[in-house]
Structure 1
């Protein structure tokens, strides 16, 4: 027994804590002060242990909840649209080559599958960025789905004799080459999609869609010029991405060299 009431002892210790705070202001609230205030025996009181434990629980619970959200986010709407586009690829090929590949009815159904794939390509990326639904699966599957549907359409068209093989080679070579280049320079930074690249994608989709349909007359002439524009945009934007990659690599290596020099000093 110290002869001092517990309330007085608590008040004294709080006053001392307030005196130690910078500028004379109380650093903690009454509950927070009791967490750091020893009892009469000079050891941390049970209240302090309880507050500390309660303060730690939300942090652990938050990590568990965040992990659960990340695991569940794989099945978000953006990824489901990407999966749908992947599933449409074999269906599109089957419709495109049905009955020898020249039946207007089957080609119309193939065009519908291609159009759905192109539309989902526009929406899944927008939804992922707008609603923070970006996942590792989406980062990998989305470009694969894009290249798969476009590559399948171009190869089918060239195999049927509707489109010269050199057009297919130029477009697919550019797409695969730029994708590989992005991975090679990812250590230095990310090459953002340009307006020209987005226009290229749109023009390619319209041109290939027009070739998938069994068009005749002036529409057949129009699709030729649309495809020509798509090829030009494909080459020009591809060269621009190469230029950006070279600049990004030089800047990254220069910054790394400066960092090494500062470290040696």
Structure 2
């Protein structure tokens, strides 16, 4: 008697565990934020050793940001918690760094506000269009993330002279990329919603027309 293969459609889908490596890295990044902020603001930012430690913690947090999403996608461990917590952890790290640097008068407040408005706005847009689809990160968006992290890291370090001047230009490039990619994201989000709404209307019209393409009739009438 041959063994009957199980029907895949009848097999219930296995849920992904919330407690996994990618989510652990995300939570670690969130936990690092207050430690990093305390180190950076220690003694009004004048303690160079603390600034170096703050740079180390910031770099570790950036590394977890690089790998948690990649691991989740490659191992099939994407969870709703991860989708929500990952952008929150990113914004918490970037926001705390920029605010602390502005408190220390290292970065102008208008630069911090411009970047934070863009980052929070894009996060809200993600939730606004999430039922219509996901907008993949563009090359400009990836470049923005790298340059922004580099600029913040250079400002955290206790630099002077030529390097202190160079970091201003890196931050300027990061600011331009932040604004340009933000505008691009708004355009793509609006386009996604518009095309998704059109597709849903077309699908509804096809269902109403019936299989033959003519108006659907009620056979029992």
Equivalent residue, structure 2, for 1:155: 99
Q: Determine which of 175, 179, 190 is the counterpart of 2:119.
A: 175
Pairing of 1:131-210 with structure 2 (within 5 A): 131-210=75-154
Which structure exhibits the higher relative contact order, with contacts defined as CA atoms closer than 8 Å and separated by 6 or more residues? 2
Query: Does structure 1 residue 234 correspond to structure 2 residue 178?
Result: yes
Structure 1 unaligned residues grouped into runs of 5+: 1-29, 33-50
Q: 1:224 to 1:76 in 2, by over 3 A?
A: same
State the Cα deviation string for residues 146-202 of structure 1 (Å, max 9, x = none): 110110000000111110011111111001101111111122211111111111000
TM-score by length of 2: 0.87
Q: How many residues are matched? A: 209
Q: Determine which of 55, 73, 83 is the counterpart of 1:129.
A: 73
Equivalent residue, structure 2, for 1:89: 33
- Separation of aligned partners in 2, 1:260 and 1:59: 26
- Separation of aligned partners in 1, 2:36 and 2:72: 25
Equivalent residue, structure 1, for 2:159: 215
Q: Determine which of 87, 90, 107 is the counterpart of 2:51.
A: 107
Q: 1:263 to 1:163 in 2, by over 3 A?
A: same
- Where is the helix percentage greater, Structure 1 or Structure 2? 1
Offset of residue 31 of structure 1: 5.3
Pairing of 1:61-100 with structure 2 (within 5 A): 63=12, 66-67=14-15, 70=16, 73-100=17-44
Structure 2 unaligned residues grouped into runs of 5+: 210-221
- Separation of aligned partners in 1, 2:157 and 2:105: 14
